[in-house]
Amino acid sequence: MKQLLTIIAGVVVIVSMVVFVFTLRQVREEEASLTDDLERRTALLADSLKESVRPSYLSNATSTIQSVLDKFANRGRLLGLAVYDDDGDLFSVSADLPFNLSDYAAVPKQAMDADSAKGDFLEVQDNGKVYIFAAPLHQDEKIIGVLVLYQRADYIDAAKRQIWKTNLIRLLIQALLFSIAVILILRWIIFRPIITIVDTIRQARAGKVAEGAYTVKSHSFFRPIASEISKMSKSLLLARTAAREEARLRLEKIDSPWTEERLKEFIKSYLKDRKIFVVSNREPYIHKKIKNEIQYTVPASGMVTALEPIMEACGGLWMAHGSGDADKLTVDKNSKLAVPPEEPKYTLKRLWLTDQEVKGYYIGFSNEALWPLCHMAHTRPIFRKEDWIEYRKVNGKFTQTLLSEIKDTRRPVILVQDYHFALLPEMIKKSRPDAEVGLFWHVPWPHAESFSICPWRKEILGGMLGADVIGFHIQQYCNNFLETVGKEIESIADLEKFAIYHKGHTTYIKSFPISVAFTAGADGIPEPKSSLLEDMGIKTKYLGVGVDRLDYTKGILERMRGVEFFFDIYPAYKKQFTFLQIAPQTRKAVEKYRQFNDDVTREAERINKKFQDNDWQPIVLLKEHYTHEKIYPLYRSADVCLVTSLSDGMNLVAKEFIAARNDESGVLILSKFTGASRDLTGAIVINPYSAEETADAIYQSLTMPPAEQRRRMKKMRDSVKNYNVYRWAAEFIRAVTSLG
């Protein structure tokens, strides 16, 4: 629409300029014509009147002259007449002349001084423009006086205004008709064929069109491109068919790589027509109003990073809290919309929470109680009964909405995500025991002694055990959970099967180390040292990068102190190394996060002030959210990536960095307190609480030989490739549906 308006506006401006030039020329020609006509007619009238006035003037017959002047005054455009003597004094004037002649005596004097007729246009108060014409009276070639005529001339300006008005109206009508014509032409001859072609390409790319439908209708302007698109669509169909067949053959091969196509074939083969429902607090797409436009963003979340490619591959329904200020403007009457926006592959169902519910369930119990309780990052959990009440209420609200969605679905597969919905599995099972429910806990599970401080620990554990499968990132968390259940609630634990029998229901506890879509790595990604770095003012030889939400569990402060210690003991790297920290703000309503934001800002400023040299500063802190399209070039530009979490279930940033490095260079520095440290054994593993270890790891990274970098990176890439997010999804779904 903007492009169409730009085209119309551009053409209208050009046409308006042409019309303006021609109208200006027309106005000037009309003004010259009317002026010449007025001057000529006035001169002729003056010559004829001089013969009537001169005899009476010579005989000093005042009454006779007065009658002559009055006779001709106020005829047509003639306002009046006057006669001046040879001294320039007024001799006689027609009656009712509507202005004071003394104010306009210059023209008669000029005529007598020059001994020739003179005319001039003057603005007369209350009468507009007036043409004053003075013709000398002679006797024996001697000037004896002057005859003056006063003609209306305002009709000339009126004629000019009429021309402008007429042409402006004509221009507006032409612009309107032209705009309508352009819209119709562009819509029916250009845009409609383009939309048809784009829709064909989109469907071909999504694999939703049957073989016979891959023919693009030829249009006169687009026949060549339509022909090529038709051929490309057919080739793509053949490639997809081959990929599906290959994926089908791989299903039974355990060691073959998992891809989006293989996951689709897995879902078709094992779930048949059963539908997948995902429940999470955070939605994959947030719509916001930005400068009177509705735009969407993908939140900075490891959970979203992992689940988005799965839902794109499998379809189904994703239920989440609608948190964007424009979310309600983009959904249908059932609070649903198809996503991703550019190429819809599944349905997003949004639920609306009140401010009180958000404050109690999300800010309070989820993020001020459960989050610090699970992460053990030296932040005291805050337990409030009112928060617990809202937490139970919101879990019930999501349960009721989900039950209405699955009421006509036989044996639905429900994948509940994270600590926000610990009570939901049991609530679902009470109403729909046929539903197969999996709960994946994306954060660590603490030791039993740590969890025992939660006042509602028994209710939380009971709610979780309503699931058929509870998944954690690593085996340690499974062990911690099993121990916690054994100490807190009456149940039977089967250590051989790693199952818990509680209230007649069996729940299996398994580890599923979540990962990323390895193929997201890097075809088509710009080369390192892109213009993005130049825009950030980074020009140093070496680059370190950190990408985290601004969360106190991510070890950002400890990381910065490690960078500070690095420059203290290796000063030669000043102006040679820059550390870029991308840290979008999160959970701004939580006091601890607001305080942490201020602490990080102050620490970065302190370190920069300590080492800054001209336009170089050691730490570049950016708090805005960056899309994957912008993050991956940074990963590929970095010599070292720092992941220094104080406690982290997995940390997908580490795996994203590995997936991006198809050049098999770069070094990953990884906290031993992350789940990823179990998989990525090629990383330099550190204790993030030790600034000395962090500094030494940075130095080791920057001095590591290329061959050693390739050896380590290849080892980690093989790990991520062999256990990517598609394999994670297949194993989790297989476990939930009791297929394995």
Interatomic CA distance for residues 725 and 508, integer angstroms: 21
Q: What is the pLDDT of residues 62-111, one digit of tens each?
A: 777 788 777 777 777 888 888 888 888 888 888 877 777 777 788 888 88
Domain that holds residue 235: 221-250
Which of these, 500, 499, 510, 437, lies nearest to 472 by C-alpha position? Answer: 510
Q: With the CA atoms of 57, 60, 62 and 68 taken in that order, what torsion angle do they form, in degrees rounded to the nearest 10?
A: -30
| Token code pair at residue 603 | 């620490």
Residue 604 near residue 560, CB atoms below 8 Å: yes
| In-domain check, residue 282 | yes
Task: Check the CA dihedral 461-467-468-472 and report its sign.
Answer: negative
| Residues 680, 550 within the same domain | yes
- pLDDT for 140 equals 79
Please state, rounded to an integer, the average pLDDT across all residues of the chain.
86
Highest mean pLDDT among 166-170, 205-209, 266-270, 618-622: 618-622
Average confidence (pLDDT) over 303-320: 86
| Residues 428, 526 within the same domain | no
Among 143, 158, 173, give the residue marking a domain's end.
158
Percent of the chain with pLDDT over 70: 89
- pLDDT for 688 equals 96
| Residues 245, 311 within the same domain | no
Interatomic CA distance for residues 509 and 641, integer angstroms: 33
Interatomic CA distance for residues 13 and 725, integer angstroms: 54
**pLDDT over threshold 50, residue 590:** yes
Higher pLDDT, 87 or 638: 638
Average confidence (pLDDT) over 540-550: 94
| Residues 447, 527 within the same domain | no
Average confidence (pLDDT) over 700-729: 94
Among 481, 511, 541, give the residue marking a domain's end.
511
| In-domain check, residue 51 | yes
Among 457, 483, 511, give the residue marking a domain's end.
511
| In-domain check, residue 55 | yes
Q: Which residue has the tokens 């075809």?
A: 523
| In-domain check, residue 185 | no
| In-domain check, residue 271 | no
Q: What is the pLDDT of residues 354-379, one digit of tens each?
A: 999 999 999 999 999 999 999 987 88
Length of the chain: 740
Report the CATH number that the domain containing residue 91 is assigned in CATH: 3.30.450.20
| In-domain check, residue 257 | no
| In-domain check, residue 654 | yes
| Residues 559, 660 within the same domain | yes
Q: What is the pLDDT of residues 382-433, one digit of tens each?
A: 999 999 999 999 999 999 999 999 999 989 999 999 999 999 999 999 999 9
From 60-69, 186-195, 296-305, 534-543, the region with the lowest mean pLDDT: 186-195
| Residues 49, 149 within the same domain | yes
Residue 237's pLDDT band, with cuts at 50, 70 and 90, is low
| Residues 57, 151 within the same domain | yes
Report the CATH number that the domain containing residue 429 is assigned in CATH: 3.40.50.2000
Domain count, the chain: 4
Q: What is the pLDDT of residues 622-631, one digit of tens each?
A: 998 888 888 8
Q: Which residue has the tokens 């990068």?
A: 545
| Residues 240, 285 within the same domain | no
Average confidence (pLDDT) over 629-646: 93
Q: Which residues of 47-73 are buried (b: 16+ CB within 10 A; e: fewer)?
A: eebbebbbebbeeeeeebbbebbbebb
| In-domain check, residue 196 | no
| Residues 235, 290 within the same domain | no
Residue 216's pLDDT band, with cuts at 50, 70 and 90, is very low
| Residues 531, 483 within the same domain | no
**pLDDT over threshold 70, residue 13:** yes
| Residues 596, 633 within the same domain | yes
Strand order in the sheet with 469-472: 336-339, 346-351, 317-321, 276-279, 413-417, 436-440, 469-472, 505-511, 499-502, 492-494
| Residues 120, 230 within the same domain | no
